[in-house]
Amino acid sequence: MAEGKLPFAESASINRPPLFSGVNYPFWKIIIKIFIESLDLGVWDAIVNGPCVLKIVIDGKTVDKTWSEWSDSKSKKAQFDCMAKNIITSTLN
């Protein structure tokens, strides 16, 4: 075997999301799901179920709750939303 040539492809990183080059979406979809679930299942849940938007009714109108009104568990769900957006946008070239 020639020096410096490996008989297998370079493996994926456990620290970086797999990049999507625009080809073979079905394969990328599987590996990005595995990558995201390995970080935290809450991040995958945020992708599947959409963003955590908290609302409150004031004088008959529905408005967004301010961040200071959120419980710790809702703040964590919102953090999962941010992580999901960061991961997905980081994978695109």
Supply φ then ψ for residue 20, to 5 degrees: -105, 115
Which residue has tokens 């008989």? 7
Residue 34: how many other CB atoms lie within 10 Å:
12
Q: Which amino acid is at 56?
A: I
Average model confidence (pLDDT) across the chain: 85
pLDDT, residue 33, reads 95
Q: Which amino acid is at 44?
A: W
Tell whether 81 is covered by a domain. yes
Q: Is residue 25 part of a domain?
A: no
Q: Is the model's pLDDT at 5 over the cut of 60?
A: no
Report the half-sphere exposure of 85 (CA within 13 A, side-chain side). 8
The pLDDT value recorded for residue 25 is 93
Is 93 or 66 the better-scoring residue by pLDDT?
66
How many domains, the chain? 1
Residue 13 has pLDDT above 80, yes or no: no
For residue 68, is it within any domain?
yes
Residue 78: inside a domain: yes
84 found inside a domain: yes
pLDDT of residue 53: 82
Whether residue 8 lies inside any domain: the answer is: no
Can you give the pTM of this predicted structure?
0.71
- List the domain range (segments joined by +) for residue 66: 41-91
Instruction: Look at residue 66 and tell me if it is in a domain.
Output: yes
| Type of residue numbered 5 | K
